Amino acid sequence: MVAESTASRSPSRSPPPTATVEELQRLNSTQRSLLARSVADLQAAAVSRDAAVDHQHQFSLTLLRHRGPDLPPSPTVVNLESQLRQQADEIRDLDLRLDQAISDRNTLQDQNDHLAEEVRLAGAEIEQLHEDHNDLNRAR
């Protein structure tokens, strides 16, 4: 789910070569929003993973308490084993989602850093153009 939602909203790697300062600032803002959403997804996946691990531990303890060496497993134990397997699958899924969220976060951070550098360069270029313009006005 994280991979799908994040991948569908991932913008292109870099802005158009003729992007204006406003466009770069807008892209930077979008990148920050996407990064915040990715971090929230990452945190939610970590919380879910931790909860699943806690449940798995509790089920393991319950299984150990109910097993006798010569007794067949009770329906409760069989049910708990099934739940344990399901939660192990959920943990694997959450780990994959967490890895994807981390990857998405890193990609978005790289894009954000790139856009911030583009904005900085555009600002420096604008300042230089203003200085050149002022120099021309003084020369007249």
Contact call for residues 36 and 134 (beta carbons, < 8 A): no
Least confident of 3-7, 41-45, 72-76, 105-109: 3-7
Mean of pLDDT values over 15-36? 78
- Which of the two residues, 129 and 102, has the higher pLDDT score? 129
Least confident of 1-5, 86-90, 130-134, 135-139: 1-5
Mean of pLDDT values over 87-114? 87
The answer to whether residue 2 sits within a structural domain is no
Mean of pLDDT values over 26-41? 84
The answer to whether residue 3 sits within a structural domain is no
Q: Looking at the 3D structure of the chain, how many domains does it have?
A: 1
* Three state DSSP letters for 2-69: HHHHHHHHCCCCCCCCCCCHHHHHHHHHHHHHHHHHHHHHHHHHHHHHHHHHHHHHHHHHHHHHHCCC
**CATH number of the structural domain spanning residue 105:** 1.10.287
Range of the domain at 46: 23-123
Mean of pLDDT values over 30-43? 84
Digit-coded pLDDT (tens) for 58-80: 877 776 666 566 677 678 777 87
The answer to whether residue 12 sits within a structural domain is no
Least confident of 27-41, 54-68, 91-105: 54-68
The answer to whether residue 49 sits within a structural domain is yes
The answer to whether residue 11 sits within a structural domain is no
